Amino acid sequence: MTTIINPNTILVLNLVVFVANAILGWVVVRANPRVKANLLFGVYAFSLALWNITLFLTIVSAGGPILQLWWSRLAFSFYLTMINGFLYFSLIYPGFGHIKQWLAVFFWSFTALLFVLTLTPWLVRGDIRIIDGFITGSLGPLMPFFSWYYAVLIGLSIVALVRKLFLYRGIEKVRLWYVLFGFSVFAVPMILTNIVLPVFFGVFQYNNLGPLFSLPMLVIISYAIVKHRFMDVREIVARSTAYFLSVVVLGLFYSFGMSSISTFIAKGSITGDVLLISTLLTLITAFSFQPLLNLFRKITNRVFYREDYDENALLYSLALIMASNINLSSLLNRLINEILAKIQIAKGAFVIVDDKKISHLAFQGYVESPRFSDKDLDELLSQPKIVIFDELSEGPIKETMRKLEVSVILPLRAGEEQEDFLLLSEKMSGGLYSEKDVRFLKVFAPEAAAAIKNASNFERLKRLDEVKSEFITVVSHQLRTPLSAARWNFELLLENSFGKLSAKVENVVRSIYQAVMALNNGVNNLISIIEIEERKIVIRKEKVNFDRDIVEKAIVSLEGEIQEKKITVKREFSLPESLVVDANKVRRICETLIDNAVRYSPEGSTVVVSTALRKKASQDEILFSVQDQGIGVLEENRELIFNKFFRGERAKEMSPGGFGLSLFMAKSYAELFGGSLWLGSKTPPGSVFYFSLPIKEVKPQSKI
């Protein structure tokens, strides 16, 4: 009897299959030893490798006839653990299945009993012979039972996988197809050549082919690893491949170099020259190892995943984003884009929670906005620290993460009330989250939490400010109509339109009129400030005589107060006749400064109002100033007086009314025109305010 393949070829292939299966088992277990499916697949792959090597040792009769018998029995033992391991794996993969503890204990206890029985003469009596590379011998009474047992377990494994194909969708279903296909092309012909034919028909000549059927299974599983991230081991396979290629190339280079030198230079003898050259080659090999390893890493990166990232550089980049963004939406979107791009993650989302409800959601990579049920949100919020999907045992949180297609939950907490979190999906490479990734995320979390808290507080303040502004606008506009009516009627009274008033009545009416005007000015200032803050200011420039049309009119509008306090207004005007400015708004600036000077000056004092044209290289500017002999400004209040709603204590005593808005409004207008408004150096008694304004002088046209 002869075999289909040369016996020596089968022996070599047996060794290859042994190494390949051992590496596959090690890679899968090494990738994630905490996951039960990885451990069981490792049991299957290691058992398959040990089955291969024990058959090899049986064929080569390693250690003589006595050990050969034990090798043959061990081959059946490892065949048992291989089939049992795969059945258990098929029942729980891809992590959705659950086997009751008592049933698991019974299963493995029964397996252990059968394992012991495989080592007895009840399975293989002896008389092991090798004929043309295949194994024959005397079988024990338990062999038919074991044969049926093996066949039933293989059938149950295939049925379990087929059943799951109808239960699952997406990538898990694709992976199940590859597992089923790979196991079937190995197990079905293998059980025929190693169980059915030898046990039931006495045909032994094909039993050395059984291990070779695992070769196509290895190809299929390897493709599933690379293409569909089966068992999440692609990263380790990539690194192992790079190392293996490096060792092979270096070994070939060194061997070829030494052989060439010995044959063509040293003539077969080791001389000093050969020793020197050998030393140089060794040094070259040592120094070239790392660059060569890096080269192969780059090559394998193209197949398995993209380039690695520098965590310090990424943290620095994210810190710049957090430092330069106070707008919450902009901050979240820029952070998620940077993280996903640098770490090569398929999709992710920042979830900002306020009072157990999602207030902001920034996501990238999703086809549509991710949705969270109340149960999902409660489950995610209950996690006190970073959660990695692949490190979890089965439970509610893993089910939630699986449903949401989430691989990492990163809580973001800068205080007890903050309950935000970052969700990340699987990597685009299919690799697991490494210790480096986890370390980066743990460093990033508190920094991001603080930045998000600051941005959230800013958003709240901004919303409150908008509500306040809207309220002030509504109230101000509601006040304008009755104030205008009151002002109009009081002016008619003071002009004696309804008959001459007595001196006593006129004083009362004038006092009320001044109060109405003060309130009207305050309302106008409120509306102006809201327009400034909301950038709704419209500038209307016109040609005017600045001294006459703006400053003089401002003084006239305050004539009543000036006369009442017997203030002397000294005018020092020296501007050209025709200038282009926004007359109404500039007049309000001048009115504000003159009004403050009159209001806070003692009776009978002097207020100096000056205008001048300052020549500058870039553009000429008006310099307007008002100097009084009033209460002045305390040193600690010099900057505060330009803030909204600020009024000094002495100012409140002299003039209890007022909103504290006039100087803020005037300074805002001045800066809007490209000018400035400031308080001059301390010159007691009193104070001096300056207002500068870039202008364009209108020259008179020449006559023809």
**Which of these, 153, 159, 121, lies nearest to 138 by C-alpha position?**
121
Q: In whole angstroms, what is the distance from residue 438 CA to residue 450 CA?
A: 19
Integer Cα distance of 299 and 307 in angstroms: 10
C-alpha span between 121 and 138 (Å, rounded):
9
Q: Quick one: DSSP state of residue 213?
A: G
The CATH fold of domain 7-232? Rhopdopsin 7-helix transmembrane proteins (1.20.1070)
pLDDT score recorded for residue 552: 92
Nearest to 518 by CA among 591, 468, 580: 591
Residue 422's nearest CA partner among 402, 400, 444 is 444
Fold type of domain 311-448: Beta-Lactamase (3.30.450)
Distance between CA 590 and CA 610 in Å, rounded? 11
Is-contact 236 430, C-beta < 8 A? no
Q: What is the DSSP string of 71-82?
A: HHHHHHHHHHHH
Query: What tokens were used for 44?
Result: 């299957």
β-strand pairing of 606-614 with 542-544: unpaired
The domain limits of the chain are: 7-232, 238-304, 311-448, 541-697
Give the torsion through C-alpha atoms of 182, 184, 186, 192, to 10 deg. -170
Q: Report the chain's terminal Cα–Cα distance, integer Å.
A: 128
Alpha helices in 394-502 (DSSP H): 396-404, 435-494
- The string of DSSP letters for 109-135 reads HHHHHHHHHTTSTTTEEEEEEEETTEE
Does residue 230 contact residue 29 with C-beta atoms inside 8 Å?
no
CA 410 to chain centre: 10
Q: 366: which DSSP letter?
A: -
Find out whether 48 and 79 touch, Cβ atoms under 8 Å.
no
Query: Burial letters for 160-197: b for 16+ Cβ neighbours within 10 Å, e otherwise?
Result: bbeebeeeeeeebeebbebbbbbbbbbbebbbebbbeb
The span from the CA of 626 to the CA of 688, in Å, is 6
* One-letter amino acid for residue 68 of the chain: Q
Among 200, 179, 198, 180, CA closest to 190: 198
Q: Is the dihedral of CA 83, 84, 87, 88 positive or negative?
A: negative
Contact between 44 and 86 (Cβ < 8 Å): yes
Half-sphere exposure of 65 (CA within 13 A, CB side): 6
For 541-697, which CATH superfamily applies?
Answer: Histidine kinase-like ATPase, C-terminal domain (3.30.565.10)
Q: Is 701 helix (H, G, I), strand (E, B) or coil?
A: coil
Contact assessment for residue 168 and residue 175, using Cβ atoms and an 8 Å cutoff: no
CA distance 655 to 659: 11
Hey, what amino acid is at 343?
I
C-beta of residue 214 within 8 angstroms of C-beta of residue 48: yes
> Percent helix, strand and coil across the chain, each rounded to 5?
60, 10, 25
Does the fold of domain 311-448 match that of domain 7-232? Answer: no
Cis peptide before 396 (omega within 30 of 0): no
Q: Which amino acid is at 598?
A: V
The structure tokens listed for 453 are 């808290």
CA angle 271, 273, 277 (to 5 degrees): 120
663's enclosing H/E stretch is: helix 662-672
The answer to whether residues 130 and 59 touch, using CB atoms and an 8 Å cutoff, is: yes
Rounded mean pLDDT for each run of 10 residues along the chain, 704 residues in total: 58 74 78 75 86 81 80 86 86 70 84 88 78 68 84 88 79 78 82 77 72 75 60 53 50 52 53 46 55 62 59 88 87 91 89 85 86 85 85 81 88 76 84 83 89 85 72 64 74 77 80 76 72 72 89 88 89 84 89 89 91 82 90 83 78 68 86 89 80 69 36
The residues that bridge with 569 in the sheet, in sequence order, are 607
